[in-house]
Structure 1
Amino acid sequence: MLQMIDNWRTYDPSVEVMVVSRSPVGRLQPELDRRGIPWMNLEFGSWVLPQLIVSPEDVYRTARHDFLATKSLVRLIQEFGPDVVATNTIVAPWAALAAKMVGVPHVWFPSEYGDDHEFAIGVDHTFDDLGALSDLVVTNSAALKTYLSRWIDDSKMAVLYPALEFSDLAHRVKDTPPDWTNPFSALPDTLRVVCVGRIAPSKGQARLVRSIAQLKRQNVRVEVALVGSARDHDLTSIRLLIDELDVGDRIVLTGETANPFPFIAAADIGAVVSVSEGFGRVTVEYLAVGKPVVAARVGATPELVSDGHTGLLYDAADDSALVEALLAYHRDPALLAAHGAAALAGVDEIVNRNRLPAIVRQIEGCVAAGSAPIERMPHLVLSWMTLPATAQRMFADVGALVDPHDSVTWTVGSNLARPLRSVRRTAGRIARRVVPRTLRNGWRT
C-alpha cells in the first residue's frame, strides 16, 4: 500500500491521501509520518478472521466497535470530502460501507483469497458484498480477478500488480547485518533452496520438508532455508516435523528478516510452495536475483513463472511432483544456469505489466461518474440485524435476563412512588378545571 501511495504521488503530485488504520499504532503509522501523510486510528474488527468469533459477548462487542467505526468513517468522509475512498484489505469492509452511505465512489484493492481464514458471513456473501459496495475492484493479479469474477461483474474489475522496485537490488543483496551467516553449507553436489514467506499450513512449507526427507532417503543432498515469521503453534508444528523426519541437517529456520535478499542470493533456486497465491511478490524477487523458481501451479504463479524457461511448475495435488522438480535442477546444473539467466532477463517485463497510470485513469472515471446506487441491502448489514438476538443470548448466558417487575427494587420503588402518582393525578384534574386550555397548551410548549 505504501509503495502504491508513493507511486501515485510521483505520478500525480497533486493527489492528497489520508489513511485510516486499525488501533493500536504499529509499524505503518511511523512510515506515514515520514511521508507527511495524515492518518487516524479506529478500533474495529474483521469479517475475515483466522478464527471466527463465536461467543455472544465477543460477537456483540465486536459488532458494536464495527458499527461505531462505520459511523466515524461516515463523519470523516463528510468532513474530509474525498473524491474517492479506497479499501486495501478484504478483512475490513467498514470504509466501503461508509462510502456507500455518503455517496462517494469506492475502490477496493483485494490482494488475497482469504486462505487460512474464516468468513463471518460466508465466502459467497463476503465477495458478493465486496463487489456491491465498490465502483471499481482492483485485484493484484489476473488469477485473483478470475476467481472474484464468480461474484463480481468483470466490467467492474481491473488488475494492478504490486509496485516492485529493484533499482537498489545490488545494495540489498550485500546489505547483511553484522551477525548474518550463510544458512547453506559449502558441500559439493548440493542444491540450495530458499523459501521466503510466513510459515503456515497454506504456505506449504510442510510439503517442502517432506520432499527434502524423501530426497535424503535417496541420498540426494538438497538444503533449504525457510525465511519468515510464524505463529507459535505453526513454528512448533514445523519444528516437530523436521525432527520427526530427521532433516535438521538439511533445513534451517532463519526467522523473520527485513531484508531477505542475502538469503535469496546465497541459494540456487527459490521455492514457492503455497497452495494459493494472490500475487506472489517473493516469486518476482527470486527472478530479479536471477534464481529459477520451483512453484506450485496455483494462483498468480503461472503469470510470473514461465514453466521450463524461468522455472519449473508442479501440480500442487501431486505429492511427488515437487520432488521431481527439485531433482531436475539437482541433476542438471546447465538447466539451472539457463533458467537463472532467463529469469533475470525477463523480470523487467513483469515489473512493467499492469501499471498504476491505467488504474488512476479508471479511478478518475469512477469519480466523474459518481457512486453507483446499491441495488440491494449488503449481506453484512443484514447480519447486523441478528444482533438483538445475539445480545439476548449474551444476557441470558450471564443471568442478566430477569423480569424487573419481580425484583425487590421494583416493588419498593413502586410503593414509594404511589403517593406521588396520586398527588400528580389530583393536581392534573384541578388544573384541567381551573386553568384555561390555551394557557395549559402554552405551558406544554
Structure 2
Amino acid sequence: MLVYFVNHSTAPINLGGAERSMMALVEDWYASDPEFEAVFITKAPRGKFVDALEERGWAYRSFRYRGWTIPNDTPPQSEITFFANDDYRSTLEIIEMMEQRRPDLVVTNTLVAPWAAFAAAVVGVPHAWFIREFGDLDHGLAFQIGRENTFQDIALMSQAVFTNSIALRDHIGAYIDVSDVQVVYPRIDAAAQKVRATEPPAIRPFGDGIDLAVTVVGRLADSKGQWRVIEALGILRERGLRVGLCLVGGQERPDYDVSLTRRAARLGVGDQVVITGEQANPFPFIAAADVCVTPSGIEAFGRTTLEYMLAGKAVVASELGGSAELVSDGTTGFLFHPDDTTALADALERYARDPELRTAYATAAESRARELIDHEFSNANAIERLKRTASAEPYRLPNIARYWFSLPGHYFATAGRGPRITLSFIRTRLRGRLGAVVKRPLAALRRRIAR
C-alpha cells in the first residue's frame, strides 16, 4: 500500500509536534505492515524535517508552497499573487507526481496546506486529513476564506478526518459534522524519554536558594505563554517565595528572549530565570524540575504536558484546549485560565509550600499519563481507519481544475506581469524589513546571523 504524506513546514529550527506525530504514525505503520510504503511531500527549502526523513531513509519530494492559513489577515495583493503562483504550480507538479506513481491514499498533516488534497481530488485518490491545530487561536494564523469555510472544505475533500484531541474535535464541530471524526493522540515513547532524561542538562537549569524549580518546554512565543510564568514569579516574589524558572526552546523572533529577560528584570526576578535556547534533548531539564508548566493560551493537544506527566512531574496547565483532557485538576495537577496569572501563581505557591502535595500529584500524573499512552486514541486505530479509507470513493474536482491551477503561471508569464508583481512584492517586503531594522536593529542583526 503506497501512501503519500504531506507536510506543511520545513521545520527550520526544530521538529514541531505535528511533524513528530506524523513520523511516529509512519514508524508504527511500517512496524505493523510489510506491504506499507510511505512517500513524503514536503515544503521547500530544506529544513530539519528533510534531515529527519533522510535519517530514516524515507522517500520525499520538496515543493515551494505556502498555505491557505497565513500570518497576515490583510496581505497586499502583490503578496497574494506572488505566492499563488508558487502554490498552484506546486499543485500541478504534485498532480503529475501522483499520475506518474499513483498512491492508494493521500494524507495531509495539519490544516495549513491544502495543495495535495486538491491534487488528490483531481487525480481521484482517497484523501485523509489530520488537523493538529486551531490555526488562529493557537498560532495566530488567518484563514484566507474564513474559519468556517476552511473546515467545511477540509471535510468536503476528505474521506476521513482526524484531530489530536477531543477539544479540537469539539471546536471544529461548530462548523462540520464530527460524528465520524476520529481522535488520535500523539504517540510518545515513554521508555526512550526515560533514558534521555538521565543525561546531564547541557546548561545549569536553576540557581541556588530557590523554593521551587519550574521548567517550561516549548517555542518561545507570546502564544506559548512563557511570559505568564514570569508574571507569576513576580507575584510570588511579593509573597516571599523565590521560584526558579527554566525556559527550554527556540524562538520565532530573534529578540523574544530579550523581551522575556527584560520583563523578568522589571519584576525583580531576573536572576531567577534561565533561558537555555533550543535543546536537542529537553528531558534532563524536565527531570531537574519540581514542577512543569504548560502556560499556552490554548493548545490543540499539549504534547509537553503529557511528557511532563510521563516524567513524573506535578503540572500546572492552561484549562483551554487539549491539556484539560490530560490533567485532572486537583488530582494530577492544577488547571488555570490563561487570563488569570494570579491563579497560576496560587498553584505554584501551593506546590512550593507543600512538597508532599507535589509528590502525590507527581505520582498520580505519571500513572494517568501511562493510561493515556495506551488508549482508544492510538496510532493503531488510526492506521486501521486509514487502510479502510484507501478503498473509499474519493471526492473529485472537475476536469477544468487542472487548468485553473495553471492560471497564475500564465498570468505571471504574460506581458511582463510577473516581474512587476515580483518587484511590488519585494518592495513591500523591503519596507517591512527596513522598518524592523530601524525599530529593533539588534534583533535584525541576530536574525541575519541566525540565517
Q: TM-score, normalised by structure 1?
A: 0.82
Match of 1:357 in 2: 380
Q: Distance in 2 between matches of 1:318 and 1:109?
A: 32
Cα deviation, residue 157, structure 1: 1.1
Bigger CA radius of gyration: 1
2-structure distance, mates of 1:318, 1:241: 17
Aligned: 1:127 with 2:151? yes
Is 1:368 equivalent to 2:391 in the alignment?
A: yes
Would you say 1:234 and 2:256 are equivalent positions? yes
Q: 2:235–2:342: 8 Å Cα contact kept in structure 1?
A: no
Q: Provide the residue aligned with 2:198 in structure 1.
A: 174
Query: What per-residue deviation string (whole Å, max 9, x for no partner) do you get for residues 86-135 of structure 1?
Result: 11122111001111111111111111111222222222222222222211
**Structure 1 unaligned regions, length at least 5:** 401-445
Q: Which amino acid aligns with 1:208?
A: V
Query: 176, 189, 205: which one pairs with 2:226?
Result: 205
Question: RMSD in angstroms over aligned alpha carbons?
Answer: 2.7
Moved more, 17-26 or 240-249: 240-249
Please list the CA deviations of residues 50-92 of structure 1 after superposition, one character each: whole Å capped at 9, or x if unmatched: 2357233322121011111111111111222111101112211
Distance 1:103 1:143 in 2: 32
Q: Deviations over 1:279-318 (max 9, x none)?
A: 1111111111110110110101111111111111112232
- Residues 236 and 118 from structure 1, CA distance in 2 versus in 1: closer, same or farther, beyond 3 angstroms? farther
SS at match of 1:31: helix
Pair 395,63 (structure 1): closer, same or farther in 2 beyond 3 Å: closer
Equivalent residue pairs, number: 390
Q: How does 1:9-408 map to 2 (within 5 A)?
A: 9-52=30-73, 54-114=75-135, 115-176=139-200, 180-187=202-209, 190-230=211-251, 231-353=253-375, 354-372=377-395
Instruction: Go from structure 1 to structure 2 and tell me whether the alpha carbon gap of 1:288 and 1:158 turns closer, same or farther (over 3 Å shift).
Output: same
Q: CA deviation at 1:3?
A: 1.4
Cα distance in 2 for partners of 1:219, 1:322 equals: 16
- Residue in 1 aligned with 2:25? 4
Cα 1:181–1:363 shift into 2, 3 Å? closer
Post-superposition offset of 1:368: 1.9
Q: Find the residue that maps to 1:312 and give its secondary structure.
A: strand
C-alpha distance in structure 1 between counterparts of 2:327 and 2:77, whole Å:
47
TM-score, normalised relative to structure 2: 0.80
Greater shift in the superposed pair: 270-279 or 51-60: 51-60
Deviations 1:345-378 (A, max 9, x none): 2221111121122222222222222214579x99
Which structure has the higher relative contact order (CA within 8 Å, separation 6+)?
2
Greater shift after overlay, 223-232 or 114-123?
A: 114-123
SS in 1 for 2:279: coil
Partner SS for 2:171: helix
Secondary structure of the 1:154 match is: coil
74 and 270 in structure 1: CA distance in 2 versus 1, 3 angstrom threshold:
same
Residue 233 of structure 1 deviates from its aligned partner by 4.1
